[in-house]
Amino acid sequence: MTFNEIQATFKVTEDIAFKTGIFGRDRKDWTFTVKRQVSGCTAYGDRSCHTIKISNPENEYFMPHLYDTRYDGISDKKDEWIEFWQKFINEQWTANLELVDYSEKEINVED
């Protein structure tokens, strides 16, 4: 079976949460790197999990967020995948983003 690994990095262009007083630090220019990878859980659904790693320009890294997405039906088609994660990050962290990097590769996984 093949699996499509994906990685994208989004940069914050406007920190709405900071501007509205929800968050106490301006996260403009912070990055959110999203990775689609094979889940370490049992091989059901589409076998995916996603991580989001947040970092700031000073290279201070924060604990990655891990999501078991095997049953969420997140498309691995480039445009749909990017749109899903931009919207997800915007809703979770209240920030506008731009895509700055994208890569994907198919890997073989055992059934």
Residue 107, both tokens: 């890997």
pTM of the model: 0.91
Distances (CA, A) of 101 to 8, 24, 31, 97, 98: 5, 27, 11, 12, 9
Decide if pLDDT at 46 tops 80. yes
Selection from 59, 65, 80, 63 nearest residue 6 by Cα: 80
pLDDT given for residue 34 in this prediction:
97
Q: What percentage of the chain carries pLDDT values higher than 90?
A: 82
